[in-house]
Amino acid sequence: MIAGYAEIGETIEQTVHREVMEEVGLRVKNLRYYKCQPWPLSGTLLFGFYCDLDGTDEITLDQNELAMAQWYRPEEIDLSGDNISLTKEMITRFCRGEIC
């Protein structure tokens, strides 16, 4: 899961494309909005999108942004823990084959 902040004048969709490229060097397409979740303590709004890979699946990690990045199959993901975040909900739907 990739996260980031929108820049001034940027659409949320443009933010998704830019953040994925910046953090892991991948191009994405067919963005599908899932839902959003407010984060009251920081006053921010988290938007969830599913998307498809557009081109190579070779990750180029930006180590200033992330400590690690890799691909996982649904059966390799541990779903234990809390279920209060949008991120966890989206991962769970992916593992169950419920993504749109």
Buried b (16+ CB within 10 A) or exposed e, 69-87: beeeeeeeeeeeeeeeebe
pLDDT at 100 over 80: no
Domain range for 58: 12-72
In this prediction, residue 13 carries a pLDDT of 97
Residue 6 lies in a domain: no
Strands 44-53, 28-39: pairing is antiparallel
The pTM assigned to this predicted structure is 0.89
Residue 59 lies in a domain: yes
Q: Output the domain CATH number for residue 68.
A: 3.90.79.10
CA distance 10 to 31: 15
Q: What is the mean pLDDT of residues 8-33?
A: 97
Residue 3 in any domain: the answer is no
Task: Count how many domains the chain has.
Answer: 1
Q: Are the CB atoms for 52 and 28 separated by under 8 Å?
A: yes
Q: Residue 33: inside a domain, yes or no?
A: yes
97 lies in a domain?
A: no
Q: Is 96 part of a structural domain of the chain?
A: no
